[in-house]
Amino acid sequence: MNCFIPKQSAEIVTMYIENRRSVVLTQRAYRRKYRGKQPPSDNTIRDREHTSSTTKTFQ
């Protein structure tokens, strides 16, 4: 299981959106950027996207 800090989670969501919500393309982009690190699973990517889109920041 991969544990991602909030900054990494945000980056994964950004990659996911930039890659037309394609899990495979997101994993490839992650592998290109972070050589040697295992990319997030498809469930992790979808979960991060869902969590970030439903979370609101209150000031």
Indicate whether 21 pLDDT > 60: yes
CA torsion 43-12-2-50 (nearest 10°) is: -40
Q: Give the residue, 26 or 58, on which the prediction is more confident.
A: 26
Indicate whether 43 pLDDT > 50: yes
**pLDDT recorded at residue 51:** 76
Q: Taking the model in full, what pTM does it have?
A: 0.79
Q: How confident is the model at residue 32 (pLDDT cuts 50, 70, 90)?
A: very high
CA distance 14 to 56: 17
Q: What percent of the chain has pLDDT over 70?
A: 85
